[in-house]
Amino acid sequence: MKTWQEDQLNALHGVKCEHKLFEMMVTLARDFGFDYCAYVLHIPFPLTRPGVKIFNNYPVAWQTRYQVQNYLAVDPTVRHGLRSLLPVIWSDDLFLSSREFWEDARSFGLNVGLAQPCRDENAIGGMLTLARSGEPLSEAELQDKGSKMAWFTQVAHLEMSRILCAKTMPETEVPLSTREIDVLRWTADGKTSSEISDILDISVRTVNFHLGNATVKLNAVNKTAAVVRAALLGMLH
Amino acid sequence: MKTWQEDQLNALHGVKCEHKLFEMMVTLARDFGFDYCAYVLHIPFPLTRPGVKIFNNYPVAWQTRYQVQNYLAVDPTVRHGLRSLLPVIWSDDLFLSSREFWEDARSFGLNVGLAQPCRDENAIGGMLTLARSGEPLSEAELQDKGSKMAWFTQVAHLEMSRILCAKTMPETEVPLSTREIDVLRWTADGKTSSEISDILDISVRTVNFHLGNATVKLNAVNKTAAVVRAALLGMLH
DNA sequence: ATGTAACCTGTAAACTTTTACAGGTTGACA
DNA sequence: TGTCAACCTGTAAAAGTTTACAGGTTACAT
């Protein structure tokens, strides 16, 4: 194992293609002591059918099985990653409610693993899983690698989400005007158009005008959807 | 300097009081090689007047000066932390647009520092700054400490935000019912009550009933504010 | 058995949002 | 000088939201 340095992470910066980026992550994972590497990206739009992208270098047979059995819906690490930012280590305990899944995974040589979730400024979630067939995780290894893995996850996630956001959600790139942001912010706090017109000292018509423009820019169907998107994407901070 | 171990971070877990927690962070920062430590927590509610909490052990004279001059509004590290998750190192470049502030800070012995932002599941932002008067930051030190600091920040932030969320936003603790979440989710995607009544096969009255209950639970004034809160707080994931 | 949380439904009036229409000013920049 | 982005304004009808009122069922735990 090479010395695992931050330099190697810097190399991830600016990569254009998500597959190329994932290949680099696989190499980093190997240097880090893990044969397998998986990345799950969670784009929370639309909220009722959020997008999930999965990259992994697991055995192809397992990849197929995971999809056929729809294990994504069962996988406790994925559910964990949606609610927490703390790392989890694969264990019998973790897979209590999905024994079948866990046994199935192990039959494909996926014995030892840990997963580190993270978030970015746009409410987009990511989770890096590192795994291997052999050598169990020791306390010493966790001590040494825990924080590095969190950092690896964060850096990889920022790059992945940059690439995939631009590709799948062009509206995140459209800049809102100052007034549009003002009006959305007050709307997010529950003010009506007429209240906002008083606050900003403009007419109700103008408030609705800016709201309408922001709604179009954000590719939303009404102000509620617009304001949720803008808020989650961090445009109102 | 003691060996800086993850164990020490685990000790942060479960602390009840934010001041006690910050004291522990100061100790960790010292062991880590920095005399000064500052933590900024950003609670994005209401969006038009977000809450900011600051903890630091800077010289008292500087703390006063920072407040009197309202440097919070100028401080480029704070602005950076609101938009990015990457660390920044204090440098002439960073403070280009606020030379006065930077010179003032250095006159109080704040010469060397770096800041690491982070986010949690609830859209609450945090930023840890570590600083000292002496020894400049070397490449080797950054290599060694970068990922540890990110992890330190993350762990400290989760604890801080746990403590302060419960204290300042009791509505984050109130659990929403399944139906309330369903209805809020569809609303967040821009569906009207009558569309949702078709989707869930319930009456329009019932949709509005759940929306109303959720609005009260979330301490919001209307469904728009309710849905933004729920979404930012991660309740709709 | 009694309570409790979650769920479900109706009506009506007052208010707010959405969507058309149509028109204007200002300041920056080439 | 012309173009552009950002800003501003009006009216009116249709659709949606909010807030009262008032009533109900079901499942589960003490």
Cβ–Cβ of A44/B237 closer than 8 Å? yes
Residue in chain B nearest A215 by alpha carbon: B190
pTM: 0.92
Nucleotides of D under 7 A from a protein CB: 5-11, 15-19, 22
Q: Is B41 helix (H, G, I), strand (E, B) or coil?
A: strand
Å separating the CA of residue B226 from the C1' of nucleotide C27? 39
Q: Is A109 helix (H, G, I), strand (E, B) or coil?
A: coil
Q: Tell me the mean pLDDT in the region A16-25.
A: 96
Nearest nt to A178, CA vs C1'? D6
The Cα of A64 is separated from the nearest Cα of chain B by a number of Å equal to 26
Cβ within 8 Å of A, B 87-106: none
pLDDT reading at A3 higher than 60: no
pLDDT in tens, A60-107: 999 999 999 999 999 999 999 999 999 999 999 999 989 999 999 999
Nearest to A147 among B44, B85, B150 (CB): B150
Low-confidence ranges of chain B (pLDDT < 50): 1-3
pLDDT in tens, B54-84: 999 999 999 999 999 999 999 999 999 999 9
Whole-number Å distance between alpha carbons of B50 and B86: 22
B58-64: Cβ within 8 A, 24+ apart: B58/B108, B58/B110, B58/B131, B59/B108, B59/B109, B61/B108, B62/B105, B62/B108, B62/B110
Rounded to a whole number of angstroms, the CA Rg of chain B reads 21
Q: Tell me the mean pLDDT in the region A118-142.
A: 93
Q: How many helices (H) and strands (E) does chain A have?
A: 10, 5
Whole-number Å distance between alpha carbons of A82 and A124: 10
Nearest to A47 among B83, B123, B231 (CB): B231
A139-168 helix and B139-168 helix, angle to the nearest 10 degrees:
80
